[in-house]
Amino acid sequence: MSLSLTLSVLRGEVYQSGLFNFLQMSNVKRTKSQTVNLQMRTQWESHLQNLGEWHGSFTRLSPQGQKLEDIPSIFTLEQLNDPQQVRLTLRRFRENQPVHELVYEYSSLEPNFLFFENGAFSRGTMQWGKNLEFGAEFCLIEGNRRLRMVQQYSQDSQLRIVTLIREKLAGTDTPERPQLRVERLLGEWQGKAVTIYADLRSPSISEAESPYSYPTRLKIEYQGTNHLVQQLTFGTGTSARTITSTARIDGSILCFEHSPLPTQVLLLPDGASCKCPLEIKPGSVFVLELGWLLQPNRRQRLIRTYSDQGKWLSLTFVEEYKL
């Protein structure tokens, strides 16, 4: 698929529906996640962790987290006779409208689409630029449920829409998690991060379990009545770094207003959180993130990191536990 067609797909309904996640793909190898055995799956094998019929909905949100539309959906990913060939079918059921169905068959993956071995993945624009639409999709998977999100920016680099996609496998009744609230995030979290680089280079060997993994520690506490402060430490020894930031609490929004690029975190249904800048500007490193509070003491996050020139650098999976 050409670059021009890629951009048209990102601008169109395929992107908005989240279906763009399986359209352009090529085989790549990647590191292991800390949640699986030492034997590594290929990207193709990891993506097959998403096989099945997933029932859910596409909830379109404003940049302030207000619900604009909720569309019931059935997403099916199935293997064909050739084990290297799969079919993706997405049906959406808007009220008082005919069923909208999209069907794609494919047999390879592209490197701007990266998977972890448990099936978690992200795909998005590889280079931000002025006057171009920009965005990314994320997916976390846990048992019979998936949580997906699409963050979408307009041509003037303003956050335009967030689509929250909550799904469960057909025939299962695993309930959604509660609405995420500030109180559920407070405390000290310890975990491990695994990073895949966009150019697939291998980091230097270290004393960590894997050259791609490193420990993390996150402390979140109130500061006064309507602010919180968080302190994030990652890495070990001389490579360890600590970042401290403060957010203003505005209902279900955490506003990090004093960073070089002001960023917000939306606290959403099903234990989800959406972190991203309201506006992207050149000259500042930025991240896009999906978080999922799976249990009161267990959380996962997927983070896409971009350089100060808007180039996609890496994808990181974090699993952390409250101490």
| Whole-number pLDDT of residue 312 | 94
Residue 99: pLDDT over 90: yes
Q: ∠ CA 284-287-293 to the nearest 5 degrees?
A: 155
Q: Is the pLDDT of residue 91 over 80?
A: yes
Residue type, 251: G
CA distances 308 to 200, 253, 285, Å, are 20, 25, 4
- Least confident among 201-215, 258-272, 278-292: 201-215
Whether residue 161 is predicted with pLDDT greater than 90 in this model: the reply is yes
Domains, in order of start, for the chain: 3-322 (2.40.128.20)
Structure confidence at residue 162 (pLDDT):
98
Share of the chain above pLDDT 90, in %: 73
- Interatomic CA distance for residues 272 and 249, integer angstroms: 17
Would you state the pLDDT for residue 200?
Answer: 60
pLDDT confidence bin for 141, thresholds 50/70/90: very high
What confidence category does residue 167 fall into, taking pLDDT thresholds of 50, 70 and 90? Answer: very high
**What is the pLDDT at residue 201?**
54
**Cβ-contact 226, 248 below 8 angstroms:** yes
Which residues make Cβ contacts (< 8 Å) with residue 34, sequence separation at least 6? 192, 194, 209, 210, 213, 319
CB-CB contact of 37 with 45 (8 Å): no
Could you give the angle at the alpha carbon of 211 between the alpha carbons of 210 and 215, nearest 5°?
70
**pLDDT tens digits, 27-83:** 323 333 334 333 478 889 999 999 999 999 999 999 999 999 999 999 999 999 988
What is the C-alpha separation between 155 and 295, in angstroms, rounded?
37
